Structure 1
Amino acid sequence: MKPYHVCRIAVAPLRSEPSDRSEIVSTLLFGDRVLVLEKTEKWCFVKTHYDQYEGWMDHKQLQEITEAQYENEQQYQYLSAVNFDNRLVDEAGTVYYLSPGSTLPFYADGSCYLGDTKFEVKTSPFIPKPTEFYTQVEAVAKFFLNSPYLWGGRSFFGIDCSGFTQTVYKLCGVKLRRDASQQVEQGELVDFLASAKLGDLAFFDNEEGKITHVGLMLGNDKIIHSAGKVRIDPIDNQGIFNTELDRYTHQLRVIKRLN
């Protein structure tokens, strides 16, 4: 099995161990590239191209491509748009429904390709523009409102806190790492909550001081984040206050600005 592959289904779980019962640590979306590092009869251990994340997945969910196809960065710019109707149709007439932010490799003239396999793109993809980050980020984040929380999730079918921020930033043309503990290492420090602005990332820690949660600021007093579901809550210097529970749920550690 050659090492260069791309995800060929809408959503594919990445697991900590080679077992269907194993913890899902992240999710691949259609068009995500991976390097296969190890293979068993059913499973392969992969490293993702986008965020260098490692895990096990069912190799039947991957399409083999050439090294040249894998390395051609210019051909992985188009993403599925921020809507609920991102459809692909394969050569057999089967329909795929994609989550926003899925990659459409080698997109041209209404089609994309995984290796030599052609998919007709039924909706309009786009290339994110980082220069328009601040005009887009709020609407993109709010698109995911009420999406269910799912550990390891990166789609509107289920998304975790860092998967949410990573996906929103990707759709706005800015690359984030996968986990909250990795994302906190990026960007510039915002000294005070009062100085926070739309698009900043707020990070939260546990009693041991470990970063365990992240959300996207909608200003300096509201945050959108994935906790139970993607929701908007008030935030102050103590942290996130959940009005439904009438208590603070997350302790604020630091705020970072990445754009």
Structure 2
Amino acid sequence: MSDLLDRRLHAYRPDLAEEALRGRVEALAFVEGNPGMITVPVVQLRSTPDLFAGTDTELLLGETVRILDVAQGWAWIKADRDGYVGYVPDYAVVTDGPAPTHIVTVPRSFVYSGPDLRLPTVQALSMGCRLTLVGEHSTRGTLYRTLPDGSAVVAAHVAPLEAPPAPDYVAVAARFLETPYLWGGRSGFGIDCSGLVQLCLMMAGQAAPRDTDMQEAGLGQAIAREALRRGDLVFWKGHVAIMEDDTTILHANGHSMTVAREPLIDAIERVERLYGGPTSYRRPRASE
């Protein structure tokens, strides 16, 4: 029975499984798991507890998870945002900590050791990272938000979590142009095609599945090619692109190894030679 369950979204092993799967899979024990939070700017999530295993996806600072098991330096977790299951180093997640108050709204930014751009940097952050900010300070006309330990971020690079979402997820995606392509990537330091879609829709207030097949199976509604407009999605087998207008796409791709802008017709002709033509077109709600 367990062979029918997608291991990306269902946590089960011979020795342990999530409580929600009781009666559906066989395991020695079942657990609800404990709430946890990611404590590093970006961490790779893998299908097995092995640094040489490929990256399935990435989690960002401040995102919440369920911790199902911790052993031998690894935490087996399930992400709250999209349900993805896998392993991260145990140092990358904690079971308690202050609740985030702000989110990074630019593709990349820094945490400085204090509220001054001339001070050493402590961390590099991606869009989507969540921070606990407790104060503010102005230095030479630049406003900073401060963290509990006195470090700081540029105030213009963050927004309160309760602030209105970005009005146009396509405009968010365009800010990632020239960002390196990274298989399994989901950050401003490296991103893949479905990671770009998910992250930018998230910034626009819309949840989305993580992988291309999941997005094609149920994100938004199917449309005809003739109806394509800004914000619609074009799917190929294993790939997805965002329509910037009715003829141009934005996509993280292995051809340019970047997030690139390209005429849709050129992409169709190039991809078709290797993998076939588009398999479907969809309109996520955020584009309506």
Aligned equivalent of 2:111, options 87, 90, 96: 87
Aligned to 2:61: 30
| 1:43 to partner: Cα distance | 0.6
Matched residues in 2 for 1:257 and 1:129: separation?
A: 22
Q: Does 1:240 align with 2:268?
A: yes
Matched residues in 1 for 2:235 and 2:152: separation?
A: 37
Q: Does 1:143 align with 2:169?
A: no
Matched residues in 2 for 1:118 and 1:32: separation?
A: 20
Aligned to 1:152: 184
Matched residues in 1 for 2:188 and 2:123: separation?
A: 15
Matched residues in 1 for 2:274 and 2:264: separation?
A: 9
| 1:149 to partner: Cα distance | 1.2
TM-score, with structure 1 as normaliser: 0.78
When the two chains are superposed, the root-mean-square deviation of aligned CA atoms in Å is 2.8
Residues 173 and 252 of structure 1, relative CA distance in 2, 3 Å threshold: same
AA at the equivalent of 1:78: H
Aligned equivalent of 1:194, options 223, 226, 242: 226
TM-score, with structure 2 as normaliser: 0.71
Residues 193 and 122 of structure 1, relative CA distance in 2, 3 Å threshold: same
Aligned to 1:229: 258
Query: Secondary structure at 2:277's aligned position in 1?
Result: strand
Matched residues in 2 for 1:119 and 1:103: separation?
A: 17
| 1:199 to partner: Cα distance | 1.2
| 1:188 to partner: Cα distance | 1.4
Aligned equivalent of 1:204, options 217, 236, 241: 236
| 1:180 to partner: Cα distance | 0.9
| 1:176 to partner: Cα distance | 1.0
Residues 88 and 181 of structure 1, relative CA distance in 2, 3 Å threshold: farther
Query: Secondary structure at 1:170's aligned position in 2?
Result: helix
Q: How many correspondences in the alignment?
A: 232
Percent identity, aligned pairs only, is 27
Q: Which has the larger radius of gyration?
A: 2
Matched residues in 2 for 1:193 and 1:246: separation?
A: 16
Q: Cα deviations across residues 116-150 of structure 1 (Å, max 9, x unaligned)?
A: x65744123124635x53xx333311111111111
| 1:250 to partner: Cα distance | 5.9
| 1:194 to partner: Cα distance | 2.7
Question: 5+ residue gaps in structure 1?
Answer: 70-74, 206-211
Q: Cα deviations across residues 180-228 of structure 1 (Å, max 9, x unaligned)?
A: 11112121122x22311111121112xxxxxx11111112211111112
The answer (yes or no) to whether the contact 1:239–1:248 under 8 Å persists in 2 is: no
Aligned to 2:123: 96
Residues 46 and 246 of structure 1, relative CA distance in 2, 3 Å threshold: closer
Query: Secondary structure at 1:138's aligned position in 2?
Result: helix
Of 192-201 and 248-257, deviating more is: 248-257
Residues 246 and 23 of structure 1, relative CA distance in 2, 3 Å threshold: closer
| 1:94 to partner: Cα distance | 6.4
Matched residues in 2 for 1:233 and 1:240: separation?
A: 10
Query: Secondary structure at 1:176's aligned position in 2?
Result: coil
Matched residues in 2 for 1:59 and 1:8: separation?
A: 10
Question: 5+ residue gaps in structure 2?
Answer: 1-32, 115-119, 137-144
Aligned to 1:39: 70
Matched residues in 1 for 2:259 and 2:177: separation?
A: 5
